[in-house]
């Protein structure tokens, strides 16, 4: 039986009226388990207008009280952790422990945002001139929006709406239509935590809903996370409409393994970072770059048995599973197509997971782990983001060659180096043109109080996600210059005042 999902408008579930729906699958079985409504322009407009009406009263609530809503929200997330993780795994396919990680990485941003009263403080200069004080305030944008991807259906919506809302904005969340249930559950919990109706609206949809956000005059800021071509599109259309837009795109994260690295540690790190969540993470390592033939041979030898031993299965199999299916049949076909192309282009498929079948789940979107060796720069499997359980090995002769591989790739989300040499690590950290860098850490996702963002084609726009940057993105600065003279005695001034 399929469930008809809803939007969440003005504090309640509201059925879609457009007549358009997207199928939501259980990726482990291939069954359609729900229908996600796809909002029309009119539905989006109504949601935005009631958010706009609700926002001034919310902005007038003092920041400490706004933060208390998030304090309660954090407690509720803990209370409902199992329920959230189950719903997340059922639509996304990732394992239950990984789904809990997805919720917790969002929860940590909610915790950080509880510091909003401090983060929203402005600056003050006392006596900038005779009798003159200058101060700045951070004020909310009004109505902000977030458009989020399928791969972290709890974490990324929270990265967006927690800072935006605690800063005094109303927020329109347009989650991925592949796994929309958890975002709806998060909105229910925000209401239970005390958020007034209309401040968090979840409007489900596809390109139509995205365009309605980008064209809507009352939305001042848009945060997007997804693939690079859509990130570029959203950035171009949103900024052309005069909005503040930040778009985080795709990735191709390299891990350089130096000859002095602890190869057991590096191999374990590669297996976790390459195949966890079936490789469907923007911070997954998808390219291993061992330096020197001896390092490469030894690494491949260590990797093969570890990769062959990976346990693939449905989330319902519990702790026995390392990773689950990919999200849709289309994703599976695209990934397998790229693996075939890699073979045709001459890469060595050292572990071939293409024929993997899950007994009892023959219609699920499972792919066995694949490991490529001898990949070169001109191959499609190197150029494209595969976003599946496929790790490519590019052998580099020297450190400089390894570094320039990562630097020349058009993506720049994450990168890592494994070494015991502090000098090489310092050089790498200083020169690399990638936004998030790991030294002996394969997935260097910064914690909530730092900021998250890539460089190059992994981002369009300014400022990172979470951390202090989120408060800069979701607020505008107003700077006040004030003078309280005892009386205006000297008449008008016609020369621009300077402090010379
Ligand atoms: P996607 O680009 O297909 O979808 C992202 C959002 O855009 C969804 O809400 C979707 O409904 C909407 N969308 C899809 N097609 C659209 C179109 N033609 N016009 C307007 N809107 C459209 O991405 P996805 O497959 O959901 O997520 C995976 C991608 O996200 C990967 O490329 C991954 O690297 C990236 N990602 C990046 C980060 C980061 O912080 N850089 C984090 C997570 C995921």
What are residue 113's DSSP bridge partners?
none
Higher-pLDDT residue of 486, 273: 273
Residue with CA closest to ligand 1 atom 24: 149
Residue to mutate (ligand 1; options 91, 149, 387; most atoms within 8 A of CB): 149
| pLDDT for res 322 | 97
Q: Phi then psi for 409, rounded to 5 degrees?
A: -70, 145
Tally Cβ neighbours within 10 Å of residue 113. Answer: 29
Q: Give pLDDT tens digits for 219-278.
A: 999 999 999 999 999 999 999 999 999 999 999 999 999 999 999 999 999 999 999 999
Q: Is the pTM of this model over 0.90?
A: yes
Residue 492 has pLDDT above 60, yes or no: yes
Total residues found in the chain within this entry: 500
Q: CA distances (Å), 340 to each of 385, 392, 495, in order?
A: 15, 13, 72
**Lowest mean pLDDT across 135-144, 267-276, 341-350, 480-489:** 480-489
**Which ligand 1 atom is the nearest neighbour of the CA of 205?**
11
CA angle, residues 52, 54, 59, in degrees to nearest 5: 95
State the Cα–Cα distance between residues 173 and 225, nearest whole angstrom: 12
What count of other Cβ atoms lies within 10 Å of the Cβ of residue 97? 14
Question: Is residue 489 over pLDDT 70?
Answer: no
Alpha-carbon 321 to chain mean position: 24
- Does position 488 have pLDDT exceeding 90, yes or no? no
Interval between CA 294 and ligand 1 midpoint (Å): 39
For residue 294, give both structure tokens: 């001896």
Residues known to be catalytic: 282
Residue 180 in this model has a pLDDT that exceeds 90: yes
Contact criterion met (CB below 8 Å) for 93 and 309: no
Q: How far is the CA of 267 from the centre of ligand 1 (A)?
A: 29
Which helix (H) or strand (E) segment is 230 a member of? helix 228-240
- In this prediction, does ipTM exceed 0.90? yes
Range scoring the smallest mean pLDDT among 28-42, 147-161, 169-183, 481-495 = 481-495
Tens of pLDDT, residues 413-461: 999 999 999 999 999 999 999 999 999 999 999 999 999 999 999 999 9
Q: Whose CA is nearest to atom 10 of ligand 1?
A: 176
CA 61 to chain centre: 29
pLDDT band at 487 (very low <50, low <70, confident <90, very high): low
Distance CA 27, CA 324 (A): 8
Per-residue pLDDT, 404 = 98
Q: For the residues 63-77, what does the mean pLDDT come to?
A: 98
Nearest CA to ligand 1 atom 22: 207
- For the chain, give the mean pLDDT: 97
> H helices within 396-491, ranges in order?
399-408, 422-431, 467-473
Range 50-75 average pLDDT: 98
Residues 6+ apart with CB under 8 A from 495: none
Instruction: Round to whole Å and give the CA distance between 252 and 489.
Output: 66
Going along the chain from its start, the domains and CATH numbers come out as 3-249+458-481 (3.40.605.10), 253-439 (3.40.309.10)
In the reported structure, the alpha carbon of residue 150 is separated from the centroid of ligand 1 by a whole-number distance in angstroms of: 7
DSSP 43-69: HHHHHHHHHHHHHHHHHHS-HHHHHHH
What whole-number distance in Å separates Cα of residue 487 and Cα of residue 485? 5
- Give residue ranges with CB within 6 A of ligand 1: 147-152, 174, 176-177, 206-207, 210, 225-227, 230, 233, 248-251, 282, 385, 387, 413, 454, 458
pLDDT digits (tens, 9 = 90+) for 357-392: 999 999 999 999 999 999 999 999 999 999 999 999
Using CA atoms, how far apart are residues 159 and 59, in angstroms rounded to an integer?
Answer: 19
Residue 347 main-chain phi, psi, to 5 deg? -75, 155
Report the nearest atom of ligand 1 relative to the CA of 177. Answer: 11
Given a contact cutoff of 8 angstroms between Cβ atoms, the answer to whether 78 and 35 are in contact is no
Q: How far is the CA of 151 from the centre of ligand 1 (A)?
A: 9
Q: How sure is the predictor about 400, in pLDDT bands with cuts at 50, 70 and 90?
A: very high
Do the Cβ atoms of 254 and 409 come closer than 8 Å? yes
The 8-class DSSP code of residue 277 comes to G
Sign of the CA dihedral 341, 344, 350, 352? positive
Q: Are the CB atoms for 61 and 52 separated by under 8 Å?
A: no
For ligand 1, atom 21, the nearest C-alpha belongs to 207
Instruction: Kindly tell me the sign of the dihedral angle through the C-alpha atoms of 418, 424, 429, 432.
Output: negative
Say how many CA atoms lie within 13 Å of 396 toward its Cβ: 22
If one counts every other C-beta atom within 10 angstroms of the C-beta of residue 192, the result is: 15
Q: How many CA atoms lie within 13 A of 27 on its CB side?
A: 32
- The predicted model gives 283-289 an average pLDDT of 98
- Run of H or E residues at 254: strand 253-257
């Amino acid at each position: 039986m399929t469930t008809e999902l809803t939007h969440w408008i003005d504090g309640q579930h509201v059925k879609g009226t457009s007549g358009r729906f997207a199928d939501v699958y259980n990726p482990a079985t291939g069954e359609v388990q729900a229908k996600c409504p796809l909002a029309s322009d009119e539905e989006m407009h109504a949601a935005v207008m009631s958010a706009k009406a609700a926002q001034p009263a919310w902005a007038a609530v003092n920041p400490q009280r706004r933060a208390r809503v998030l304090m309660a929200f954090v407690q509720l997330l803990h209370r409902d952790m199992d329920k959230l993780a189950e719903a997340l795994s059922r639509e996304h396919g990732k394992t239950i422990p990984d789904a809990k990680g997805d919720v917790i990485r969002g929860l940590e941003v909610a915790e950080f945002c509880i510091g909003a009263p401090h983060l929203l403080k402005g600056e003050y200069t006392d006596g900038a001139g005779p009798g003159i004080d200058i101060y700045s305030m951070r004020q909310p944008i009004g109505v902000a929006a977030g458009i989020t991807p399928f791969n972290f259906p709890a974490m990324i919506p929270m990265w967006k709406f927690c800072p935006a809302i605690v800063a005094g904005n109303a927020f329109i969340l347009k989650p991925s239509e592949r796994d929309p249930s958890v975002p709806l559950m998060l909105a229910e919990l925000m209401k239970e935590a005390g958020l007034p109706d209309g401040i968090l609206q979840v409007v489900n949809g596809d390109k139509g809903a995205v365009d309605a956000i980008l064209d809507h005059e009352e939305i001042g800021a848009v945060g997007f996370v997804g693939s690079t071509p859509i990130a570029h599109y959203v950035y171009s259309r949103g900024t052309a409409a005069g909005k503040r837009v930040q778009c985080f795109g795709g990735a191709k994260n390299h891990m350089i393994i130096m000859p002095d690295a602890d190869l057991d540690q590096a191999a374990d790190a590669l297996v976790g970072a390459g195949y966890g969540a079936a490789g469907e993470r923007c911070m997954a390592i998808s390219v291993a770059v061992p330096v020197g033939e001896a390092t490469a041979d030894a690494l491949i030898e260590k990797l093969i048995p570890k990769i062959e031993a990976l346990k693939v299965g449905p989330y319902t199999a519990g702790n026995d599973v390392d990773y689950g299916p990919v999200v849709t049949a289309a994703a599976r076909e695209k990934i397998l197509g790229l693996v075939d192309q890699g073979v045709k282009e001459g890469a060595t498929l050292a572990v071939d997971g293409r024929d993997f079948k899950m007994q009892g789940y023959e219609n699920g979107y499972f792919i066995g782990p694949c490991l490529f060796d001898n990949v070169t720069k001109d191959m499609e499997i190197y150029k494209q983001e595969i976003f599946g359980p496929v790790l490519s090995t590019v052998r580099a002769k020297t450190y400089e060659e390894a570094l320039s591989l990562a630097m020349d790739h058009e993506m720049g989300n994450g990168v890592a180096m494994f070494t015991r040499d502090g000098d090489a690590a310092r050089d790498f950290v200083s020169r690399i043109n990638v936004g998030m860098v790991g030294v002996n850490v394969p997935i260097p996702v910064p914690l909530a109080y730092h900021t998250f963002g890539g460089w190059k084609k992994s981002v369009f726009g300014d400022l990172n996600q979470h951390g202090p940057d989120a408060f800069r993105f979701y607020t505008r600065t107003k700077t006040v210059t004030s003078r309280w003279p005892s009386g205006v005695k000297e008449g008008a001034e016609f020369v621009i005042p300077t402090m010379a």
